[in-house]
A and B are shown apart, each in its own frame.
Chain A
C-alpha cells in the first residue's frame, strides 16, 4: 500500500489522529530505509559473483574444443569397429563354408566307403551293415550330393558313380529285406522277423516296416484266436467257467492285442522314432484285425448262446403283451397288468438268460477296459516321443479309429441285446415276484416289496458293470418304467376295490354274522383276507417310497464310484435319469394317499357316524345336580374315546407307523368335522358349555397321544368352538378375541359370523348382545 493511499485511508480529523498518522508514517519510513540498506549491502556479493562468471566463461571455451576433439575420436573408433566386425562376419561365413565343405568331404568319404561297404555287405548278406551304410547315405543331402558330383566332374573319384551304386544298393536292399522278411514270416522265424523289422527304418521304409510287421502279428494273433475259439468250450470247461466262456475268450483276444502294443511300443519308439505316426499306424492295423477276430467270436457267441432266437422270443412276448393293451384300452384303464404266464412253452424263462446277461456285461466292460488301456498307452507315447504340435493330432486319430472301429459298433449292438434281455429279465422277475407275493401274519409288508427292489437293484448294478453310461441310463429308465407300470398297478389294484368293510350298515353286519354262522368261518375269512391285503398293499406302497429313496441314493453313490470321470453332459444324463425314480416315488405317495382316502370313506366315516350321533343323546342343558350325575356316570367322551381307541387299535399293528399316523390324522379331521356338525344341532347352557369344553380337551389329549404327528392344529377349530360355548358372559369374549390380550391362544380359525352362530347355541345368551358384539 503506498503512503499516499495510507494517508487517504487515515482519518485525519483530529489532532491526535494526525499525530498518530505521522508516527505511523515515520515507522514506515524507517522500515523502508532498513530494506534499502540491506539491499545495498548485497551489492558487493553480487559483483563478486559476476566477476566469477566472467572467469568461468573463458574456461568453457577450452571445454568446448576438448569435446569436439573427443567426438572426432569416437567417430574414428566407430568406423574402425565397423570394419573389424565386417571382417569377423566374413570370417564366420568362411568358417561355415569350410565346415560345410568338410561335411561334404566327410559325406564324400563316407559315400565312397558306403558304396564300397554296401556292395560287400550285400554280397555277404550282412543286412544290418548294408542298412547302416544306406542309412548313412540317406542321411546325406541328396541334392547337395548331386551338385557335388557336378562340381567334381572329371576327377578320379566319380561321385556320381558312388551315388548310383548306393541308390541301386538301397533299392536292392529294400527289396531284399522285404523278401527276407516275407521269408522269415513264412518260416515263422520270430527272431528274423524282428531283425528285419528293425532294419526297415534304416533303409527309409518306416511305413512298409510297420505295415509288414503288423500284418505278421495280426496273422499270428488270428491263428491263435481261431485255435482258442475252436476250443472255447473245452477251455472254459477246464477252467470251470462255462458260463463266461465267450467273455473269457474275448478277454484273451483283447489281452493279446494289448500285449502286442505294450511289447512293441519301446521297439518302435527306439527304431522308428523319427516317424511319429508309426505307433498309431500299427494300432490302426491291429484294430482292424481285432475287429475281425471279435466279429468271429461274437458270431460264435450268438450262435451258441442262441441270442437271435432269444431276442425274438423276448420281442414277441413284449409285443404280445403291449398288443393286448393297445387293443383294449378299457382293460388297461382298469389297472390290468401282465400276469406271468405259467405253462406257456415258448415263453423265455428269465433265469435262463440271467447268465447270458452277466456274460454280456463282462464282455462290454472288457472292451471298455481295452479302449481305455490303448488310449492311456498312446497318451504316454505321444507325451514322451512326439513333438508337441503333433500330439493332439495323434490322439484325435486314435479316438477316430476307436469310434469308427467295428469293435465299437459291435459293442453297441451287444449293448442293445443286453438292454433288451435285461429289461425282459427285470420285468418278468418283477411280475413273478408280484405273482408269488406272500404275506406272513405279524408282518406289515408282504414279500414282493423286498423281492421287487432286490431285482431292480440287481439290474441297475449289473448295468453299472457294463461300464457304459448310456446303458446304465437306459436301465434306470426301464426300472422307473417298471415301477411306474407293473408295480404301482399291482399295489393299486386292491386299493381301488376299496377296504372291505363289514360295518357299512347294521343289516350288512347282521347278514355277515348270519352267513358266518351258517357256513363256518369261510365268508368272514374272505373279507378278512381282503382287509389284510388292503392294509398290506397300503404298507407296501408306503415302504416302497422309502426303498425308492434308498435305491436312488445308493445308486447315486455307486454311479459316482463306477464313473469317476464324467463329462458335465454325462453327469446331467445320469442325474436326469435318476430323477425319474423320484417321479415314481411321487406316484407311490399318491397311491398311499389314494388308499388312505379309501380307508376314510369306507372305515372312518361310516363308523364315526353312529358314535357322533350318540352325542346328540346327551343333553348339554344341565343344572348342578344333573352335572354331578352326568360326571358320575359314563360321559359321552369316555364312550367316544373307548370306541376310537378300539378302532385305532384294530389298525395299529397292521399299519406301518407312517400309515398309522396318517390314519390318526385323517381320523382327527373327520372327528372334528362331524362333532362340529353335531354341536350345531343342540343347545347349551353355562354348565353344558363347561362339559363340552372338558370333552373337547379330553378328546384332544387322546388324539395327540395317539400319534407322533401333530394333530393339535386339526383340533384348533373345535377347541375354539368349545371356548366360545364355555364363556361365562358374552363380554368375556373380547379377552379371547383380541389376540394381543392373550398371546398363548392361536389365531382364530372362525370367522366373526361363525362366532356369532356358535354363540347363539348358548340358550342363556341374548341375541341382542350377540348382535352387538364388535368383532
Chain B
C-alpha cells in the first residue's frame, strides 16, 4: 500500500450534523451509516485512488463540528492541501455559519489551500438553500462548488476524485516551476486550477472576477491538467 506517488491531506469542516462523517464513510467504505454519533475531535481515514494513471494516497481528516472541538480541529488546517467546507442544503443556519468558517480558515490554513464548498443532503425534499445561492457564495469566496448526497452516493466520488486531480495539477506545476519564486509558483498553481473546469463555480468565475492572481499562469499551465 505504500506504493503511491502523491500524498494529499484533505480536511472536512462545517457545522455539526451537516454530514461530514457520512461523506467520508461513503467515499472510503461505501457505507451510509445512519444514526452516526457526533465525531469526537478528529477522525482519520485513508484511501488510495488512481487518477491519470497515478496512485494517490488521500489522507482524509474528518473533524468534529461542535464548537468545543474547535481548538483541536483548527490545528489540522495548516497542513491541509484541500479544505472541504460542508453545509446542509436543508438547514439555513449551517449555511449562515459559512463566513465564520471562512474566517477560521483564513486564520489557520495555508493561503494557497484548495477550498471546496459542498452542499450536502441533496436527497432531502425540504431544501432551504437553492443551488444558485450556494454557487454564488462559492464564487464570491474563490471556492469550488459541488452539491452532494452521501445517502444516495451522489457526487461523492466525483468530489474526491476531482480534488485529487486538481492537487496533482498543482503539484506538477510546482515541480515544473522549479527555481521560480514562491509567489510565481503560487500564481501558477492557482492559474492551473482554472483549467480543470469541472467545478462549475470557479470555472465561471475565472474570467469575470479574477480576485486573486488567477490571470497570470492560466494560459500556460492549463494544458498540464486534464
A-side residues, CB < 8 A to B, are: 318-319, 322, 326, 333, 403, 409, 412-413, 415-416, 419-420, 423, 469-471, 473-475, 477-478, 480-481, 484, 569, 572-573, 576, 580, 583
Q: Judge whether B75 and A473 touch: CB under 8 Å.
A: yes
Q: Judge whether B42 and A420 touch: CB under 8 Å.
A: no
Q: Judge whether A470 and B40 touch: CB under 8 Å.
A: yes
Q: Shortest Cβ distance from A270 into chain B, in angstroms?
A: 36
Q: Judge whether B183 and A477 touch: CB under 8 Å.
A: no
Residues of B near A409 (CB, < 8 A) are 68
Q: Judge whether A416 and B71 touch: CB under 8 Å.
A: yes
**Contact flags B8-43 to A (C-beta < 8 A → 1, else 0):** 000000000000000000000000000001001111
Apart from the given pairs A473-B72, A474-B41, 18 other A-B contacts in the complex at a CB distance below 8 Å: A326-B107, A412-B40, A416-B68, A419-B71, A420-B71, A469-B41, A470-B41, A471-B72, A474-B71, A477-B76, A478-B75, A480-B79, A484-B78, A569-B43, A569-B44, A576-B44, A576-B59, A583-B79
Q: Judge whether A480 and B78 touch: CB under 8 Å.
A: yes
Residues of B near A318 (CB, < 8 A) are 107
For the complex, what is the distance from the CA of A165 to the CA of B9, rounded to whole Å?
75
Number of residues in B with C-beta < 8 Å to the partner? 20
Given contact pairs A322-B107, A412-B69, A413-B68, A572 touches B46 in the complex (Cβ within 8 A): yes
Residues of B near A478 (CB, < 8 A) are 75
B47 at the interface (CB under 8 A from A): no
B127 at the interface (CB under 8 A from A): no
Residue of B nearest to A409 (CB): B68
Q: Judge whether A416 and B79 touch: CB under 8 Å.
A: no
For the complex, what is the distance from the CA of A7 to the CA of B183, rounded to whole Å?
116
B contact patch SS: mixed
For the complex, what is the distance from the CA of A217 to the CA of B173, rounded to whole Å?
68
Residues of A near B107 (CB, < 8 A) are 318-319, 322, 326
From A474, A481, A580, contact of B72 by CB (8 A) = A474
Residue of A nearest to B183 (CB): A333
Q: Judge whether B79 and A580 touch: CB under 8 Å.
A: yes
Residues of A near B79 (CB, < 8 A) are 477, 480, 580, 583
7 A-B contact pairs sorted by A residue (CB < 8 Å): A409-B68, A416-B70, A416-B71, A419-B75, A469-B41, A475-B75, A478-B75
Q: Judge whether B78 and A477 touch: CB under 8 Å.
A: yes
Residue of A nearest to B70 (CB): A416
Q: Shortest Cβ distance from A265 into chain B, in angstroms?
A: 29
For the complex, what is the distance from the CA of A197 to the CA of B79, rounded to whole Å?
58
For the complex, what is the distance from the CA of A31 to the CA of B78, rounded to whole Å?
111
Considering only residues 158-213 of chain B, those with a C-beta below 8 Å from chain A are 183
Q: Judge whether A573 and B44 touch: CB under 8 Å.
A: yes
From B37, B69, B183, contact of A416 by CB (8 A) = B69
For the complex, what is the distance from the CA of A409 to the CA of B68, rounded to whole Å?
8
B106 at the interface (CB under 8 A from A): yes
Given contact pairs A477-B76, A481-B78, A580-B79, A470 touches B71 in the complex (Cβ within 8 A): no
Residues of A near B42 (CB, < 8 A) are 470, 473, 573
Nearest first, the 3 A-B pairs at minimum CB distance are A470-B41, A477-B75, A419-B71
**Contact flags B35-72 to A (C-beta < 8 A → 1, else 0):** 00100111110100000000000010000000011111
Q: Shortest Cβ distance from A756 into chain B, in angstroms?
A: 32
Residues of B near A473 (CB, < 8 A) are 41-42, 72, 75
**Contact flags B80-111 to A (C-beta < 8 A → 1, else 0):** 00000000000000000000000000110000
